[in-house]
Structures are given as structure tokens and as C-alpha cells.
Amino acid sequence: MGIRFQEVSFHYPQNQLTYYQAIANITLDIESKNEFICLVGRTGSGKSTLAQHMNALLLPTSGTLEIFGTKITAKRDKKTNYNSLRKHVGLVFQFPEYQLFEETVEKDIMFGPLNFHTGIDEAKEIARETLKLVGLDESYLNRNPFNLSGGEKKRVAIAGILAFDPDILVLDEPTSGLDPRGKTQMMELFKEIQDKTGKSIIIITHDMDLVYEHASRVVVLYDGELIYDESPKALFKREGLEKYHLQYPSPIRVLKDLKERFDLDLDIYQRNLSDAVTALKRAVK
Amino acid sequence: MRNIVIGQYLPGSGFFYKMDPRTKIMGVIIMMVAIFLLETIVQLAIALAIGIVLMILGRLSIIRIARGMRPLFVLLIFTFFFQILFNREGELYLQESMTVSLSSIGGIILLTIIWRLLARFKRFRFFLLLAYLVGIFFAFSLLTYGYTFTTFTFSIYERGVEMSVFVVIRLLVIITLSTILTLTTKPTDLTQGLESLLRPLKIIGIRSEDFALIISISLRYIPTILDEANKIMAAQASRGADFQQGKLKDKIRQIISLLVPMFIIAFKRSEDLADAMETRNFVPGMKRTRIHELAFNMTDAFASLFILCSLAASIVLRVL
Ligand SMILES: Nc1ncnc2c1ncn2[C@@H]1O[C@H](COP(=O)(O)OP(=O)(O)OP(=O)(O)O)[C@@H](O)[C@H]1O
Ligand SMILES: [Mg+2]
């Protein structure tokens, strides 16, 4: 059993008198194994807020939330060890600047494992391995995290979470600010982690191509409400997603345009470039 | 974290909102002087009553103002007891000999336990504290059994009671005055008012515009920095930093993990702000124009009249 949302709502206090409702009545089940979920929605739709519920950084204003069997409600319970939940669910924030603080990358990655009582030598070893995993070589170990480029910072931040080996990995826009190659590499990395360890992975993203190609499940938020929770295939077969500020993946858009313009007999629902090319070749033959 | 923000402006209407910030700032200062001139409890009580009537006329919520003062209650209680205990003038009201004995210490420990157990009734926190203090008093005076360590006398004098009530009411009035000012004046208006009032300081070489700019930028960034601090705390908490418990050594590391990103983000923000100001052609030292020029209106005239009358009245009372 992983994370279970039951009618969870959350509002931020705005000033002393008013509240801002960020998510409303979310009911959602996330398994602890083998999920690959993409969380999408326009800016301000409540994705980051939802993600921060998954490791109990935010407590629901109403409704109940269950994280690995621990019930979380609006009231902070003295008996619940919130910290131990964060070992199960690792959350990588949208902006790495909020997280990096040590003078070397190595020490920064070790921060998580040390907090969860891993020995120093073991933590050093882990830092080395996870850094390699996120695609940075060992020369980065002794660099100052503040002098890295945006994309490199992002990778170090992800390594900082991977280092303590959470069961579920939640990533808030891990691919923003990366070059196209870096994006695919990053997605492949997540796929690889999942294949190897069977961790559930939840990714917040605006990139529908990545969603269409990689996700096994898409959750769509709109104005704080959960409107769709289904496979990407089913989602992108729907008409009129534009009104939720969602874009169709580029293979679908290109093939649809070609199909209409040249009146082809063509299956437009292809998940990546090579499939699209194959389908197109077959159609024009 | 949000409720410790000082600039607690609350939008509203009513005449306090229509007044020029300069009138309000000067008014608060003059009124404070007037309050300090008053000498008896009756005079102060009348001042407090007038203040409350003004708040009702100005359509301010008294409950809200009282709530804003809650953090200062500790100060008030402390002042109150300080005066009662250490002022030894006038007629003697009460004299009790107090015993520090095994039984009284035991009684106090018992009382403390009961008090802490009841502490979850947050609503009655204040009354519980009072009951606890009264309980301690009786424990010392009545429980004299068992081995006695030492005894002392607890005495209350007439002037002590008078002064404690006097000082507490005076503090209350003064806090209310400044709360009205911050509650009804936007931080930007407040600094603009200050800038305008401090302009004469130019003679001795202090430029009030710079001063006002520094204040308004700081005020503007307090909530932002608090927000950032919350985000950093959340990010580090996801990596297992537990800011509530843990050993001292871990604690220090965790606080560093909070402070370093805070400073870096604050510096980055200030650089960005400087750039943004420069690209919009802000030149330090140039004369600035404003959208809202401060203007003195009828309400201000009436308020000034009222303030001056109050000052005159308290001077007359003092002299008579
Ligand atoms: N700390 C906060 N205080 C008050 N309101 C907030 C706070 N954080 C977010 N909000 C509001 O809650 C809403 C949802 O914010 P959230 O950050 O969850 O959006 P998001 O879907 O992650 O957007 P993005 O794609 O831009 O990251 C927004 O309208 C935002 O203004
Ligand atoms: Mg977000």
C-alpha cells in the first residue's frame, strides 16, 4: 500500500481573513510499486501542492491521507513520526536552490542519508554511486554546488533524494531547464531506476511528449480538482483538452495535421518519432 | 510563521483610513506624550474610554486589536506583578508569611503537573495561568508542614496595587495607539509619511528619501523572505531534516542547511531587485514622483484639532 488520498482538500492562508483553495476533493490511490505517473495541469492548478502532501510536508485541511499505512489528517499528531514517512516518499522540489547548501556536492548528497542515520563511510559511497546514476561523473564530487549550471544543480538535487533510497519518488518538474537531450536522458534514468528497483515514480511535468511516451498513468489537475486519472493513450484520444490548457503530444499533432491535409488512412496515435515515421511510411505507400 | 509579520495592515474603511499618514504618525507621538502627562488612574481610564469610543466611530474591530496584542500580554502581566511585588509605599494591604517547606514545594510540583495537564485547553490558557499563580501563593502561605528551608514575607502595599493598575492601563493605551496606526496605514504610506516628516533632517545631511526607501524595501521583503524560509524548510525536511527534535549536533547542521540557502537566495534577490530598479531608470538621489501625493484633508484638520485639544487638556490636568 502506497499513498491514498481520500477527499483531500487544502487551502493556503492568504491573509488573516481569507484562504486560497489550492486543491479540492482529491481522491487518488498510488501503489508503492511499479507506478509511473505523470501529474499535469496548467500553472497554478495545484500540482506542487498535491506533491507536498505525498510526504506529509503539507497536512490536508480536510479529508484523510494515508502514507504507507500512516493516517494523516488536518491535526498534527504527536505520535506520528512525519520524518520517517519522508524516508519512504522522496520529494524533489521544483527549484534546486532551496535545497543545496553544503560546500561540496558530495556533502550535499550525503545530507539525506546522514539524517536517516546512515554511517559516514556508507553515505560517501552512496553519494558516489547516485551521482553517477544521475549522469554526472566523479569530478563533480568536490565541486561547489552553487557554481553549477541550472541543469547540473537539478541533477545534484535529484541525487540528494535518490541517495536515501525512498520507495516512492516524487519529482516536481525534473526536466524543466534541461536541454532536449538531457530531458530524454533524465526520463530514461527514471525508467531505468524503476526497471531495476520497482519504485513508483511520480513526475510533475508540462511536457506532453514525455508524458505520452513514458507514463503509464496520467493525473490531470485543473483549478485544484482532479479531472482525469487514466492512461495517456485514453487521455489523448479525448477531444478538446485545450480547454484545460493541455497540449496534444507532437506526434499526434503532426500526424493529425498531415492526415487532414492529405486525407491519409493513418493511425495518428503514435507514441514517439520512429513509430510515427513508420506509420506515415505505411500510409503513403 | 505568518502571524509574526509586523506590518499588520488590514484593509478597511472608516476615518482612520482616510487620514494622512503624517497626521497619524504625529498624532500617535503627541497622544503618547499626552498619556505620559496623566497622573491618576481615573484620568487614564477616561483616556482609554475615549480611545475605545474613537475606535468604534472609526469602525475598527476591538476584538481584532485585542487579538493583535495577545503576544504582549506576557509583558503586561510581568509589569503588573513587578509593580505589586516591589513597590513598598503607602498603606499596607496584605502581609503573609510564606514558608518554603517540603510540603509547599510538593504542593507546587503537584500544581505544576495539573496546570500542564490542563494546558491543552488553549482557550482558557490565561485563566489557568492566573489560577496557577494564585495556587502557588496559597501553597507557600498555607502548607507549612515538613522540613522548612526558609521563610519570607509577602506584602502588598496600597501604592503597589495602584501603580500596577496605572502602569498596565498606560501600556494598554499606548499599545492600542500604535496598533491603530499600523492596522490602518499601509506600510508604503507609513514610510512615505515618515519620509515627508523627516525631510527637515536634510540640514544635518541625512537624506530621508534613502531612509524611506530602505525601510519600504525591507518591509516589502519580510513576507517574501518568510515564504522562502518556509520553502527551504520544506525542501530540507524532505531530506529528513527534523527541525523539532534530534541531537544538538544534528540540529546545528539542520539550521545551517536552512541559513545557507536563505542567505544565497536573499543576496540573489537583492541583486535582481537592484537590476530591475536600474532597468526602470531608478537613479539614487534623483527627485522621485509618486502616483499618490500625500494630501491634508478635512478629516486631518479635525483630527489635528482633537489631538492638540487632548494634549492641552493633559497639560492643564498636570499643572493643576
Ligand atoms: N505558500 C503559498 N501561499 C499561498 N498560496 C500559495 C502558496 N503556494 C501556492 N499557492 C497558490 O496555490 C495555487 C497552486 O499552487 P501550486 O504551486 O500547487 O501550483 P502548480 O500547479 O505547482 O503550478 P506550477 O506549474 O507553476 O508549478 C496557486 O494558485 C498558488 O498561487
Ligand atoms: Mg509547481
3-class state of residue A98 by DSSP: helix
**pLDDT exceeds cutoff 50 at B5:** no
3-class state of residue A220 by DSSP: strand
Fold observed for domain A3-248: Rossmann fold (3.40.50)
The residues facing A26 across adjacent strands are A8
Would you state the pLDDT for residue B2?
A: 45
Helices assigned H by DSSP within chain A: 47-54, 82-88, 105-115, 120-133, 150-162, 180-197, 208-214, 232-237, 250-262, 273-284
With beta carbons under 8 A apart, name residues in chain A contacting B8.
Answer: 16
Residue having the nearest C-alpha atom to atom 28 of ligand 1 = A44
Pairing of strands A217-222, A62-67: unpaired
Average pLDDT score over residue span B283-298: 79
Q: Which residue has the higher pLDDT, B243 or A108?
A: A108
CB contact under 8 A, B265 and A93: no
Average pLDDT score over residue span B236-250: 81
Q: What does the alpha-carbon distance between residue B272 and residue B249 come to, in Å, rounded to a whole number?
A: 35
Residue B199: exposed, middle, or buried by beta-carbon count in 10 A (0-12, 13-18, 19+)?
Answer: middle
In chain A, % of residues over pLDDT 90: 57
Per the CB < 8 A criterion, the answer to whether B101 and B145 are in contact is: yes
With beta carbons under 8 A apart, name residues in chain B contacting A86.
Answer: 237-240
Ligand 1 pocket test, pick from A10, A19, A20, A23 with the greatest ligand atom count within 8 Å of Cβ, gives A20
Per the CB < 8 A criterion, the answer to whether B147 and B23 are in contact is: no
For B238, name the nearest residue in chain A, comparing CA atoms only.
A86
Would you state the pLDDT for residue B118?
A: 83
Would you state the pLDDT for residue B82?
A: 82
With beta carbons under 8 A apart, name residues in chain B contacting A13.
Answer: 2
B185 CA from centroid of ligand 1 (Å): 29
Distance of CA B218 to the CA centre of its chain: 19
CB count within 10 Å of CB A5 equals 23
Nearest-10 crossing angle of helices B187-198, B208-237: 150
> Where, residue-wise, is CATH 3.40.50.300 in chain A?
3-248
CB pairs under 8 A between A and B: 72
**B3: confidence class by pLDDT, cuts 50, 70, 90:** very low
- All three cell numbers of A245: 490548457
Give the closest residue to A134 by CA, choosing from A152, A118, A110.
A152
DSSP labels for B20-47?
-HHHHHHHHHHHHHHHHH--SHHHHHHH
Q: What does the alpha-carbon distance between residue A162 and residue A135 come to, in Å, rounded to a whole number?
A: 13
CB count within 10 Å of CB A43 equals 8
The residues facing A220 across adjacent strands are A40, A228
Please report, for residues B109, B139, B142, B211, the alpha-carbon distance to residue B136 in angstroms, rounded to integers and kept in the order given.
10, 5, 10, 50
Query: For residue B42, what are the contacts with CB-CB under 8 A and spacing of at least 6?
Result: none
**A15: confidence class by pLDDT, cuts 50, 70, 90:** low
Cβ–ligand 1 distance for A47 under 6 Å, the answer yes
Pairing of strands A168-172, A19-30: unpaired
Count of CA atoms in the C-beta half-sphere (13 A) of B182: 14
Pairing of strands A89-92, A168-172: parallel
Pairing of strands A36-40, A200-204: parallel
CA dihedral (B48, B52, B57, B62) in degrees, to 10, reads: 150
**pLDDT exceeds cutoff 90 at A18:** no
B122, B225, B232, B238: best mutation site toward chain A, by most A Cβ within 10 Å? B238
Would you state the pLDDT for residue A264?
A: 83
pLDDT in tens, A138-189: 999 999 998 898 888 999 999 999 999 999 999 999 988 788 888 888 888 8
For residue A169, the surrounding DSSP H or E stretch is: strand A168-172
- All three cell numbers of B286: 534623483
